[in-house]
């Protein structure tokens, strides 16, 4: 095993005494089958046996079931297993020689051990996932694959469908829902989280409490006289169907406090009220299940889709560190059912051992860590300036010194009296008080850098530009000077475009500016950004796969997920906008994009070249942060920044988690979060202590309406900020009349662990994942039910518009607001006032209650049937942005439909609005 020393793996197991392990009964497998595992013996001539790694305290890794992937029965109670030797290493897969880290990861997968694999981009992590999928399907196991973006999930779906057969592969991205009962199901991580979070059938849930073992909701348990869970898992007494008011002035029966001694119940889906506009007896067909990658609607309650799943693959698991979306990844891992194993794939990160240790704690299953820092195609990092040419960091600094400080002998690198790091430090000290000779201001252009790439045979080149408009301008400028394709290659472009459009069910007339794009493509030049239609991005990716593109200008979105390696990667700058300011790229951002360089089996090295202007370098040096500057970093050795938790408790998450598990278990889930594990919650501020004290007081005492004592809430003496935030959310939901604490009335009929009754607003809110409070209020007051389908589409666009356009793109405001604007704004204002009267000043106010007037009019017109060309003439929009907002609006509309499944008028309006939006280029296609 000497060849594997640099890939030694770490098994952080935490407190193993508290960890469950799978049953110890080995699964039977036929001789020579794919799951048969050889027990290596000491001193054998074959693969060297690996002793189980030891915990730092001397505790051996507990072995799971046998090496067979069939050894797991999902949901079965875990038992302690006896220790077993590891299986022999797999050295080859499908004729490919495996790298050491791939063999080690596969060994752990064959041992039924959750595994975190951290390796540089382009080193073959996905092959490990392919092996797991292949082996699991051979033994009839179910497996889920999740990715951060729909483009990656769609790409993997096409690959898996070709390899394993479309009948064995399903997909749920929100945009597309197909074959959800397949043994291999691909989805975005948001879809998985939502399925895990929402289920009506609690008894069928993997977390159901066995009869006779009620879960205590509060610190003071409810009376034992209360009835157990009914067989269906739902309470017996739904609220009356007529209980939904359209105005706060007419409270429903279900909202009114129960009289002393009367039975109380939690609201069920069948108990949801209908709109007053719904004729009696109107049939209620279900809405089409779907959603978007951000907050997708789910096709059915979780257990039906997740039943029997043995493994979940989290591709790009370092998305845990995403400021906005990281919370979704953390929640999905926390909510995984017992017995489901995890395979996490990530680029190299600084705190991989900590992440694996947290996964062990969060899931209750040992998690092996396999790391490799060696790329199969090494990267060479260089910098380019018109005066210096292409240089390493030392050469760049020497050239800069020559032009900026020609008379400073103490800055000479000659004679090796200074190394480049010391030179950089001295230059930084000078720059703090010095002036730069502006007559020496350089003007290094992208054309010069691309010419260098051509001269050095570095095509295809991926050129990253952090501006959509610059991507397009650069491509046009290059095309005016160069044509890189021969006649046969131009014909390949034409055929590829025709075939791709045919596969997508589109015609050329539906693609704006297609003739101009064709002129670029037939010169071997293209651009790729989020403002393009999905069909155009698909064509560009197909052309790159066919190796007829020579230069591709792209924004950083191209670096996520889509597997399109090239020979060289160029950076137009190493800064990007953060609001009104510029900031250097993070190590994670740089490495993610740079990792695309170098094609395995084709290139010896991958070239990464960054365009550096001397005046920008001077400005960076003047920041007094020399060690953090991009040119000061040894990119061949550095790792990305440590992953930090971004867990944020949405009201939907708090509501569903509490409804499923009760307060006590919800608190336990949060204590197992990465945020808590990383110690963020150890130091509670005085203000948080005061908030906890107020919360504790608010949950106790007399209920003024019923004269009954509320269930006692006892917070910890020094509660963590996360638990304080959780109880603040519960208190807000109580004050807003989404939930109601259950009074301890003898004889009440409730779930033993349902310490809060769901009121009608709360029942609506459970199925909403976007602006849930605002949308709940709109539905509760009947606003969507009273709109035309086109107006409803516009309202949905106004709700999701700002968040859908994350890139900072802003649409122009219309000359006049929509007809429904005043009514919708009034609902938001009433919610804000109720929120403030309750005394909860939430920092999410602005975002939660914001409506985007700019997005309303285009979506309303599109849903009414206007053509894409006419719409773009009226509104200066990027067609890809229109598609993005339409897909988000469609998802929200479907969430509305699922939130009120018995409201006939809403169902009718949603169907018509979705049909108006989901057409032409907006319609999602695989």
CB 388, CB 395: distance < 8 Å: yes
Count of alpha carbons within 13 angstroms of residue 643, beta-carbon side? 30
Given a cut of 70, whether residue 673 has pLDDT beyond it is yes
> Which phi and psi angles does 324 have, rounded to 5°?
-100, -45
Given a cut of 80, whether residue 822 has pLDDT beyond it is yes
- Alpha-carbon distance values, 660 to 333, 362, 776 (Å): 16, 18, 20
pLDDT value at residue 308: 84
Given a cut of 60, whether residue 26 has pLDDT beyond it is no
Given a cut of 70, whether residue 56 has pLDDT beyond it is no
Residue 644 CA to residue 584 CA, distance in Å, equals 19
Residue 918 CA to residue 897 CA, distance in Å, equals 16
Given a cut of 60, whether residue 202 has pLDDT beyond it is no
Instruction: State the DSSP code for 628.
Output: G
- Average pLDDT on 626-631 reads 78
Residue 274 CA to residue 245 CA, distance in Å, equals 9
How high is the mean pLDDT of the chain? 75
Structure tokens that stand for 298 in this block? 């789910």
Taking the CA atoms of residue 652, residue 657, residue 658 and residue 661 in that order, the dihedral angle to the nearest 10 degrees is 160
Helix (H, G, I), strand (E, B) or coil at 740: strand
Count of alpha carbons within 13 angstroms of residue 466, beta-carbon side? 17
The three-point CA angle 430-431-435 to 5° equals: 105
pLDDT value at residue 151: 83
| Residue tagged 């030797």 (tokens) | 85
List all residues 6 or more positions away from 499 whose beta carbon is below 8 Å from its beta carbon.
Answer: none
- Alpha-carbon distance values, 856 to 219, 807, 820, 831 (Å): 47, 19, 10, 21
> Which phi and psi angles does 610 have, rounded to 5°?
-110, 130
Q: Using one digit for the tens of pLDDT, what is the confidence trace for 287-338? A: 333 333 334 544 443 445 677 899 999 999 999 999 888 999 999 999 999 8
- Average pLDDT on 732-742 reads 86
CB 823, CB 817: distance < 8 Å: no
Strand 309-314 and strand 142-147: the pairing is parallel
Q: pLDDT-derived band of residue 83, with 50, 70 and 90 as boundaries?
A: very low
First vs last C-alpha separation in the chain: 44
H or E, element range at 367 = strand 367-371
- Alpha-carbon distance values, 234 to 119, 382, 394 (Å): 46, 63, 69
Instruction: State the DSSP code for 88.
Output: P
Residue 518 CA to residue 539 CA, distance in Å, equals 10
Q: Using one digit for the tens of pLDDT, what is the confidence trace for 498-531? A: 999 999 999 999 999 999 999 999 999 999 998 9
| Residue tagged 């208190």 (tokens) | 731
Strand 367-371 and strand 114-118: the pairing is parallel
Q: Using one digit for the tens of pLDDT, what is the confidence trace for 566-603? A: 999 999 999 988 767 888 898 888 988 998 999 888 89
* Peptide bond preceding 913 in cis form (omega within 30 of 0): no
Helix (H, G, I), strand (E, B) or coil at 859: helix
Among 307-311, 386-390, 623-627, the minimum mean pLDDT is found in 623-627
Range list of β-strands (E), 465-605: 525-528, 551-554, 568-571, 575-578, 581-584
- Average pLDDT on 698-718 reads 47
CB 287, CB 898: distance < 8 Å: yes
CB 144, CB 309: distance < 8 Å: yes
Smallest Cα–Cα separation from 696: which of 722, 675, 714, 677? 714
| Angle, helix 821-837 to helix 721-735, in steps of 10 degrees | 120
Structure tokens that stand for 2 in this block? 């000497």
Helix (H, G, I), strand (E, B) or coil at 311: strand
pLDDT value at residue 487: 95
Paired residues of 462 in beta bridges = 552, 569
Count of alpha carbons within 13 angstroms of residue 330, beta-carbon side? 29
Smallest Cα–Cα separation from 204: which of 114, 300, 288? 300
- Alpha-carbon distance values, 162 to 156, 159, 811, 926 (Å): 10, 5, 40, 13
The three-point CA angle 51-56-59 to 5° equals: 60
- Average pLDDT on 776-784 reads 95
Q: Using one digit for the tens of pLDDT, what is the confidence trace for 657-670? A: 988 888 888 999 99
Give percent of the chain above pLDDT 90. Answer: 44
DSSP string, 397-417: HHHHHHHH-TT-GGG--GGGS
H or E, element range at 110 = helix 100-110
CB 556, CB 528: distance < 8 Å: no
pLDDT value at residue 792: 97
CB 784, CB 794: distance < 8 Å: no
Q: pLDDT-derived band of residue 785, with 50, 70 and 90 as boundaries?
A: very high
Smallest Cα–Cα separation from 754: which of 739, 735, 771? 739
Residue 702 CA to residue 674 CA, distance in Å, equals 37
| Angle, helix 189-197 to helix 326-334, in steps of 10 degrees | 50
Given a cut of 90, whether residue 791 has pLDDT beyond it is yes
pLDDT value at residue 227: 28
pLDDT value at residue 435: 57
- Express the helix, strand and coil content of the chain in percent, nearest 5 each: 40, 10, 45
Higher pLDDT pick, 738 / 88: 738
pLDDT value at residue 799: 93
Residue 298 CA to residue 304 CA, distance in Å, equals 11
pTM for the full predicted model: 0.77
């Amino acid at each position: 095993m000497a060849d594997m020393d640099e890939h030694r793996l770490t098994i952080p197991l935490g407190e193993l005494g508290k960890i469950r392990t799978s049953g110890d009964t080995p699964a039977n497998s036929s001789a020579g089958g794919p799951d048969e595992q050889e027990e290596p013996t000491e001193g054998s001539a074959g693969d060297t046996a690996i002793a189980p790694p030891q915990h730092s305290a001397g505790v051996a890794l507990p072995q799971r079931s046998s090496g067979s992937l069939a050894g797991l029965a999902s949901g079965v109670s875990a038992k302690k297993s006896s220790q077993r030797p590891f299986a022999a290493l797999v050295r080859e897969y499908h004729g490919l020689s495996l790298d050491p880290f791939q063999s080690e990861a596969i060994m752990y997968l064959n041992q039924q051990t959750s595994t975190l694999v951290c390796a540089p981009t382009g080193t073959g992590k996905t092959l490990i996932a392919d092996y797991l999928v292949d082996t699991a399907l051979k033994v009839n196991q179910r497996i889920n694959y999740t990715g951060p973006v729909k483009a990656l999930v769609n790409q993997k779906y096409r690959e898996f469908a070709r390899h394993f057969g479309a009948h064995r592969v399903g997909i749920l991205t929100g945009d597309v829902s197909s074959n959800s009962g397949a043994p291999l199901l691909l989805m975005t991580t948001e879809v998985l989280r939502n399925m895990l979070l929402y289920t009506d059938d609690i008894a069928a849930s993997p977390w159901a409490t066995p009869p006779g073992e009620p879960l205590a909701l509060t610190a003071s348990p409810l009376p034992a006289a209360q009835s157990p869970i009914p067989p269906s898992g739902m309470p017996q007494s739904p609220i009356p169907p007529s209980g939904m008011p359209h105005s706060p002035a007419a409270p429903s029966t279900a909202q009114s406090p129960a009289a002393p001694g009367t039975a109380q119940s939690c609201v069920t889906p069948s108990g949801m009220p209908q709109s007053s506009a719904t004729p009696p007896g109107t049939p209620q067909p279900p809405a089409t299940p779907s959603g978007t990658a951000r907050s997708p609607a789910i096709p059915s309650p979780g257990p039906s889709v997740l039943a029997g799943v043995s493994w979940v693959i989290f591709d790009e698991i370092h998305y845990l560190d995403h400021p906005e979306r990281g919370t979704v990844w953390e929640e999905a891992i926390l909510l995984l059912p017992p017995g489901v194993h995890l395979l996490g794939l990530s680029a190299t990160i600084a705190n991989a051992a900590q992440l694996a240790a947290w996964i062990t704690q969060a899931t209750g299953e040992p998690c092996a860590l396999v790391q490799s820092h060696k790329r199969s195609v090494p990267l060479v990092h260089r910098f380019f300036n018109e005066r210096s040419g292409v240089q390493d960091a030392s050469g760049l600094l020497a050239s800069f010194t020559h032009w900026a400080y020609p008379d400073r002998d103490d800055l000479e690198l000659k004679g090796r009296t200074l190394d480049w790091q010391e030179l950089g430090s001295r230059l930084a000290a000078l720059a703090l008080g010095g002036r730069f000779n502006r007559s020496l201001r350089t003007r290094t252009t992208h054309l010069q850098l691309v010419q260098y790439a051509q001269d050095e045979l570095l095509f295809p080149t991926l050129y990253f530009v952090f501006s959509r408009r610059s991507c397009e301008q650069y491509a046009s400028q290059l095309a005016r000077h160069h044509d890189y394709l021969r006649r046969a290659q131009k014909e390949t472009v034409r055929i590829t475009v025709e075939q791709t459009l045919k596969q997508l069910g589109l015609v050329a007339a539906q693609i704006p500016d297609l003739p101009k794009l064709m002129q670029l493509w037939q010169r071997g030049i293209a651009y790729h950004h989020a403002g393009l239609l999905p069909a155009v991005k698909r064509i560009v990716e197909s052309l790159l796969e066919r190796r007829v593109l020579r230069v591709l200008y792209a924004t950083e979105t191209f670096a996520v997920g889509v597997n399109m390696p090239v020979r060289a990667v160029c950076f137009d700058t190493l800064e990007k906008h953060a609001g009104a300011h510029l900031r250097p790229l993070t190590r994670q951002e740089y490495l993610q994009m740079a990792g695309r360089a170098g094609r395995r089996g084709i290139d010896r090295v991958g070239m990464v070249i960054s365009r550096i202007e001397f005046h920008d370098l001077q400005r960076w040096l003047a920041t007094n942060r020399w060690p953090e500057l991009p040119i000061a970093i040894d990119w061949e050795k550095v790792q990305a920044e440590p992953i930090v938790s971004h867990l944020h408790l949405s009201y939907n998450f708090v509501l569903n988690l509490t409804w499923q598990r009760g307060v006590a278990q919800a608190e336990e889930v949060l204590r197992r979060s990465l945020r808590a594990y990383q110690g963020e919650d150890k130091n509670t501020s005085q203000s948080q202590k005061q908030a906890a004290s107020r919360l504790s007081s608010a949950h106790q005492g007399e209920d003024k309406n019923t004269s009954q004592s509320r269930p006692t809430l006892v917070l910890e003496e020094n509660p963590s900020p996360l638990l304080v935030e959780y109880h603040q959310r519960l208190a807000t939901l109580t004050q807003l009349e989404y939930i109601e604490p259950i009074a301890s009335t003898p004889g009440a009929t409730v779930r033993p662990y349902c310490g809060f009754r769901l009121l009608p607003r709360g029942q609506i809110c459970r199925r909403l994942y976007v602006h849930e409070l605002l949308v709940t209020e709109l539905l509760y007051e009947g606003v969507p039910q009273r709109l035309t389908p086109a107006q409803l589409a516009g309202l949905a666009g106004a709700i999701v518009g700002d968040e859908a356009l994350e890139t900072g793109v802003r649409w122009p405001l219309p000359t006049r607001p929509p007809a429904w604007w005043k009514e919708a704004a009034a609902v938001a204002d009433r919610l804000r006032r109720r929120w403030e009267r309750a005394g909860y000043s939430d920092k999410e106010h602005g975002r939660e209650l914001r409506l985007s007037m700019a997005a309303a009019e285009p979506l309303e017109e599109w849903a009414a049937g206007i053509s894409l060309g006419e719409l773009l003439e009226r509104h200066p929009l990027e067609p890809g942005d229109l598609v993005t907002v339409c897909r988000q609006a469609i998802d929200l509309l479907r969430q509305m439909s699922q939130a009120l499944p018995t409201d006939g008028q809403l169902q009718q309006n949603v169907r018509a609005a979705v049909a108006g939006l989901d057409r032409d280029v907006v319609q999602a296609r695989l």
